[in-house]
A and B are shown apart, each in its own frame.
Chain A
Amino acid sequence: MLVSTIRHFKAVNYHARILRTFSSQIKGQSSRSDTSKSLSELRNVYVEFLPDPTVEFRNPIREKLERLDMLARRGQIDIPEFYVGSILAVTASDPHSLGKTNRFVGICIKREGCGLRAKFILRNVIDHQGVEVLYEMYDPALQKVEVLRLEKRLDDKLLYLRDALPEYSTFDPDMEIEVLPEGSRVPVNPLKVILKPKPWLERWERQNLRGVQEFEISERDKRRADKVATPWLKYDLMKNYMNTIPEEEQNEIFSEIHEQLQQLELTRKKLKRKRSFVKPFKLG
């Protein structure tokens, strides 16, 4: 019994060593699709693995179970890295027609929620009509998530696209995947959109938007914006502390799930290689 367990242990060790050497080889090749990402990269890519910092919602056991469920779902469907401002194509099964799917292409204007409740909103203009779809990332109805263009924008939320000219949120549904060169960082698109004249859905002049071109506002609006501005919020150290998870805790969480995420990325790489192979066919 003891001997067999020792042998088993050795075998596991051996496999781990093979994996490690394999990952280090890949690490040497590129940093973009790096299998062993550093913790700082992990926290940018997998934000939804961090729990909600609100004290009354914290529950370590539930959070851990949720992380396991998320990893299990990620084993079933490939959810790639994307950010607000990236252009995505989501294929989801249609709840109203059995056995059929819908594919929606649009720009991600918001990411919210954490754990299994992580969501994102896609926006596009179809037949001169702005359309937004809210998808839950770990919804079993999702069948495929493709990132057509991986990029960031200047703001954390692009909700102002609702009040911008329609050309800024119009994307071709038959768009092809734009592949980033290996080893490059995620590009930031410095595009400044032009807003439509008032009335707006929100008071954009109060939100310090960076991705919006200068617009004219009345003296009254300006005064009001100045009145409700909260420039001291960045000095409220405890409020900021309560809106985030301390780095030590983040490291604990990610070192726990680091290996599984690494495995998932490895399988994704393999699948990608398989997909890119096109069988030659006879002409004529």
Chain B
Amino acid sequence: MNQADISHLVSRLKIQVNPRLRKFRNPEGPLGRLKKLRKTVTALFKHERIELNYPRAEEARMYAERLISDAIRYGDCHKTTMETADFWIEEKQLIHKLFKVLVPRYEHSQTSYTRMYRAPRPYPGPMHKKAVLELRGNPYPPLLPDFVSNRNLIHNVLLDEAKKEYRSQKYAEIAAKIESAEKGALQIENTASEKSSIEQNASVSEQKP
């Protein structure tokens, strides 16, 4: 049984974390594994959407999430975080992107910072599973079809009709209300004018004698 290491605090990740890390067997050992992954992380920060083999995408995704969450948590004046960013990002201009673009973008985010999709594998071809890894809020058009705003889909057509009907009903009600109000106002005016004429008559009759 181990004690939790409390020397360095971390934020909880918003993605599912695998119980075991993949080894990516490598002649350079664990350092080679990290070097392999940091190429992917750098590419992800640079292009914001990449297509690659599934295992590596899943592994690199966890590291990218950790890097962004640390950058949000500690900022660019924290020495350890800066060193980590320097290790993980091979193209050094992207370090600025991490702290000046990605941190403000995800600062108040309630969900994960990245998205991963299963991609179709080329046929005929190798049997590896493929994946698309992207940063949320990227400038590209979305990968999944947008079902919400397609006007021609049957449920949207029905909803539009329902809205139209509801609106016409409401208009009719409002018109009825206005009419009734006008009628009422007219009646009141009439009665008032009648009353005033009677009073005038009365005053006239009073003055007469």
Give me the interface of A with B, judged by CB distance under 8 Å: 43-44, 47-48, 50-57, 111-115, 117-118, 230, 232, 234-250
Given A230-B30, A246-B10, A53–B4 Cβ distance below 8 Å?
A: yes
Chain A residues with CB below 8 A from B207, complex form? none
Of chain B, the residue at the smallest CB distance from A240 is B8
Give me the interface of B with A, judged by CB distance under 8 Å: 1-6, 8-13, 17, 19-21, 30-31, 34, 62-63, 66-67, 70, 80, 83-84, 87-88
Chain B residues with CB below 8 A from A243, complex form? 2, 4-5
The distance from the CB of B26 to the nearest CB of chain A, in whole angstroms, is 13
The distance from the CB of A121 to the nearest CB of chain B, in whole angstroms, is 14
Which secondary structure dominates chain A's binding surface?
helix
Given A44-B6, A53-B2, A239–B12 Cβ distance below 8 Å?
A: no
In the bound complex, what is the Cα–Cα distance between A233 and B198 (angstroms)? Answer: 103
The distance from the CB of A154 to the nearest CB of chain B, in whole angstroms, is 13
The distance from the CB of B45 to the nearest CB of chain A, in whole angstroms, is 14
In the bound complex, what is the Cα–Cα distance between A250 and B80 (angstroms)? Answer: 22
The distance from the CB of B38 to the nearest CB of chain A, in whole angstroms, is 9
Would A244 and B21 count as touching, CB distance under 8 A? no
Q: Which of B1, B80, B88 has the most CB of A within 10 A?
A: B1
In the bound complex, what is the Cα–Cα distance between A248 and B2 (angstroms)? Answer: 20
Would B4 and A52 count as touching, CB distance under 8 A? yes
The distance from the CB of B96 to the nearest CB of chain A, in whole angstroms, is 20
Would B31 and A232 count as touching, CB distance under 8 A? yes
Would A245 and B4 count as touching, CB distance under 8 A? yes
Would A50 and B3 count as touching, CB distance under 8 A? yes
Which secondary structure dominates chain B's binding surface?
loop
The distance from the CB of A244 to the nearest CB of chain B, in whole angstroms, is 5
Would A244 and B6 count as touching, CB distance under 8 A? yes
In the bound complex, what is the Cα–Cα distance between A85 and B19 (angstroms)? Answer: 34
Q: In the complex, given contacts A55-B20, A246-B12, what are 14 additional A-B residue pairs having Cβ atoms less than 8 angstroms apart? A: A43-B6, A50-B4, A53-B4, A55-B19, A56-B19, A111-B3, A114-B4, A115-B1, A232-B30, A238-B17, A244-B10, A247-B10, A250-B4, A250-B9
The 7 closest A-B pairs by CB, nearest first: A246-B12, A237-B66, A55-B19, A50-B4, A235-B87, A245-B4, A248-B12
Q: Which of A113, A230, A240 has the most CB of B within 10 A?
A: A240
Query: Which of A47, A50, A118, A241 touches B66 (beta carbons < 8 Å)?
Result: A241
Q: Which of B4, B20, B88 has the most CB of A within 10 A?
A: B4
Given A50-B4, A241-B17, A235–B84 Cβ distance below 8 Å?
A: yes
Chain B residues with CB below 8 A from A245, complex form? 4, 6
Q: Which of A43, A48, A113, A245 has the most CB of B within 10 A?
A: A245
Chain B residues with CB below 8 A from A238, complex form? 17, 21, 62-63, 66
